[in-house]
Every structure is written in C-alpha cells, then in structure tokens.
Amino acid sequence: MHRSYPPCSDESQILASITLRTSLEQPVAKQTEQPLTEFSLIRAIARRFGRDARRLIKGIGDDAAVITPPPSVWWHVTTDLLTEGVHFDLTTADPYTVGYRAAIANLSDLAAMGATPRYLFVALAIPRGFTSQHIFSLYDGLMEGCRNHRVVLIGGDTSVSRGGLFVSITLMGTSAAGQALFRHGATIGDHIYVTGTLGDSQAGLQLLNEPRSFRATSQRKWSLSAKDRQFLIKRHLRPSARLREGQWLNGKNLATAAIDLSDGLSGDLQHLCEESGVGAEIDSGALPISAACRAYAAAYGVSPVDLALKGGEDYELLFTVSPSQQTTIERQARRRGFQVTRIGVIRPRQFGIQITQASGFPRPMPITSYEHRFS
C-alpha cells in the first residue's frame, strides 16, 4: 500500500489551511533533501525543538526523559491518539494542521483539569510517501499549537507505518497539590456553563468536506459570506485550548466539575453527569452559537442547536458552578475577558439529561457524539 501525500504547500490541494497558514504567518519547515532515517530525524527534532528547561534533567536522547518535579504539585498526564482516515484526512488538513490540532486536543484535556502543561512526548508512525518536509511541518504545527504555553518537547518515538499516519501525544502538566478540576463533583442545583461558542468546528469541517465542484457552482441557493466561511474553517483547523480559563476556574475554586468539549456537548455532558452521578437540564435557547455558525446553519438548512449539541472538537470547557458562585463567576469572567455562558442546571440522576426547547417542556436530549466502534 503506497500512496502519495499532498505537498505541504500546494494551494490546489489544501487551499483553506494554507490560506489560514499564510494569514497566521506560521513558519514553514524547509525541505531536507537527504533521505531521512530514524536517528537523523531524532537528531534534527532535538536540534530544532529540544531545549533546556527548568527541572528538566534529560530531554531527547536517552532511554527516557528525566524530570525533577517541583515541590507540592500534582502531575496531570493525558494521552491522545490521532489516526489518518479517522481523526483527520490529509486532503482537508495538511500535516501542519494535523500537528497543531493534536497539540490542542491534549492541551484541552489539561485545560479541563485546570493544569499547566509542561512536557510533551510525540510518537509518530510515518507512512510511505510522507516526505521530510511533511514530518517537520507536522512538528512545526505541534509546537505552534503549544506556543504561549512554555511546553517543552522532551521525548517520543518514530516508526515507519504500513498504514497511514498515526500521531500519539502524551502531555504532562502540573497543578498545585490538592487543586484540580475533575469530572466528578457536580451536585444538584449547580449551574452548567460553557466557554466560547459551540458548533463552529463542525460547521468548518463540513465546509472543508464540501465537494469543490459544489462550492464553485454559481447555482447555489444559499449564501455564506467569505468572512463567516473563513471564521468557521479557522475554528476547525486552528482551535484554541482554554487553558487560561481552566486555570482560573481551578485556582479560584470556582467550578465543582469540568470537562473539555472534544466529542460534542451532548456526549461530554453525559460523561460529566455519569462521573458526578447526576442528571442535567439544558436550555437550548441559551446555547452560545456564533453569528457565523447561525449563518452557516441558515444557508445549509441545518439546525444550529444540533450543531452545538453534536459537533465535536470545539475544545471549549463545560463546567458546573455552585449557585452561590454565579455572580462571582460572571463578574470575574467579564473582568478577564472570558466568554462564559450559563446553559443549564444539574438535576438528579433519575431526571436524565434533558433539553428544553424555546417555551416548551424539556425532552430527553439525544446523545449523538462520536464514538469509535471496534467490532
């Protein structure tokens, strides 16, 4: 099985992401002309990204990385695996984007714990047809995703792959000892909040997957401004992890429970409710949906609420807050410039998870988030 991968900078192949890349002024890796072997790759990665860091005893280049922990911390460790044809498609996301989004998926997990990310490990299975430029571009995207967060790449593994690209990331972070946000901890009567807006990433993905011929036709009945299209695609290709928000909620003891929205609101709310042993009622009218996402929904004849409930990979935070903290949290969020929206309330477990439509009664919320099926 030998396939060729799109060149990293061919606009005709990966128009949207390249447009974004240029506009974001991200570095593009230089092509290495020599054949790339495992150990030369490791040396090149170490040269390019390895650096000294406080408390790092040994980074890339030994049997294991060695770290000396600061006193009185908890370690938070998360692992995410992204596989070609399942989590990403190299016709709609170039290697840089794959790396960037892999970083965000992991950073978002630590954001949901209220932790500070520190050390990164990257295991990469590299298919035939993937050039050294692709590989370095992927690492560039990874490190760009981690920028502003002082994350250091300190280890990993690389292998040939006989079946597509596989990216497995392990990210370690810290919080003050005794201080973390968990999925358990929500209690009946707590308010349910989310950061940012929901559904944008899903709308952006659907725009990227739209057949080119369909996009180009002049007979389309709908319209979506170039600005809205660009906004939604950027939200898919260059999401953010809500680390500052998570650290704020954790440091100030403001949330009773938290989870990041990677699988979609409906599925992730279910995880939080299961771990907390509670139910929830969501007000569909309160869901924060961007103007671009509403415009997309109108143009394509889909429900914006469905996008907000089912769309994955928004990487916003879902968290619960004791009623006594409601005014505090909203005041502090405003002062810090964080967008937080109250979307519902925690109910008893037997209530299940229900959603209230505009001026109607609550009805059971369909749980439709993505889940892998193995057999």
94 binds its own copies (CB under 8 A): no
Q: Closest separation between CB of residue 131 and its own copies, Å?
A: 5
Determine which residue in the list 7, 46, 48, 74 makes contact with its own copies, applying CB under 8 A. Answer: 74
351 binds its own copies (CB under 8 A): no
- Which one, 64 or 358, has the nearer CB to its own copies? 64
How far apart (Å, rounded) are the C-alpha atoms in residues 261 and 151? 22
- Which one, 47 or 212, has the nearer CB to its own copies? 47
Where in 273-302 is the site for its own copies (CB under 8 A)?
275
51 binds its own copies (CB under 8 A): no
Angle at 313 between CA 312 and CA 315, to 5 degrees: 120
371 binds its own copies (CB under 8 A): yes
Determine which residue in the list 8, 18, 112, 343 makes contact with its own copies, applying CB under 8 A. Answer: 112
- Which one, 173 or 288, has the nearer CB to its own copies? 173
Q: What H or E segment, with its residue span, contains residue 43?
A: helix 38-49
55: left (phi over 0), alpha (psi -120 to 50) or beta: left
- Which one, 156 or 344, has the nearer CB to its own copies? 156
Determine which residue in the list 66, 286, 291, 298 makes contact with its own copies, applying CB under 8 A. Answer: 66
157 binds its own copies (CB under 8 A): yes
Determine which residue in the list 27, 61, 277, 323 makes contact with its own copies, applying CB under 8 A. Answer: 61
314 binds its own copies (CB under 8 A): no
- Which one, 177 or 286, has the nearer CB to its own copies? 177
Residue whose entry in the numeric block shows the structure tokens 């906004």: 231
Q: Specify the length of the chain in residues.
A: 375
Determine which residue in the list 18, 88, 101, 109 makes contact with its own copies, applying CB under 8 A. Answer: 109
Size of the site for its own copies (CB under 8 A): 83
- Which of 201, 192, 225, 200 is CA-nearest to residue 290? 200
* Residue 209, both tokens: 């997957």
Where in 18-37 is the site for its own copies (CB under 8 A)?
35-37
Where in 162-191 is the site for its own copies (CB under 8 A)?
162-164, 166, 168, 170-173, 177, 180, 182-184
DSSP summary character for residue 126: E
78 binds its own copies (CB under 8 A): yes
How far apart (Å, rounded) are the C-alpha atoms in residues 74 and 51? 23
Determine which residue in the list 11, 27, 58, 286 makes contact with its own copies, applying CB under 8 A. Answer: 58
Partners of 364 in beta bridges: 354
Please state, as a whole number, how many other Cβ atoms lie within 10 Å of the Cβ of residue 295.
21
The alpha-carbon radius of gyration of the chain (Å, integer) is: 21
Q: Is 276 in contact with 197 (CB distance < 8 Å)? A: no
Q: How many CA atoms lie within 13 A of 132 on its CB side?
A: 14
Helix (H, G, I), strand (E, B) or coil at 81: strand
Q: Closest separation between CB of residue 127 and its own copies, Å?
A: 8
- Which one, 39 or 214, has the nearer CB to its own copies? 39
Q: Closest separation between CB of residue 370 and its own copies, Å?
A: 9
Looking at 104-112, 223-231, 277-285, 326-334, which segment touches its own copies (CB under 8 A)? 104-112
Looking at 18-26, 127-135, 228-236, 342-350, which segment touches its own copies (CB under 8 A)? 127-135
How distant, in Å, are the alpha carbons of 111, 112, 153, 233, 252 from that of 107? Answer: 6, 9, 13, 20, 20
Residue whose entry in the numeric block shows the structure tokens 């519902």: 344
How distant, in Å, are the alpha carbons of 24, 132, 145, 259, 367 from that of 371? Answer: 32, 33, 25, 17, 11
215 binds its own copies (CB under 8 A): no
Where in 241-260 is the site for its own copies (CB under 8 A)?
258-260
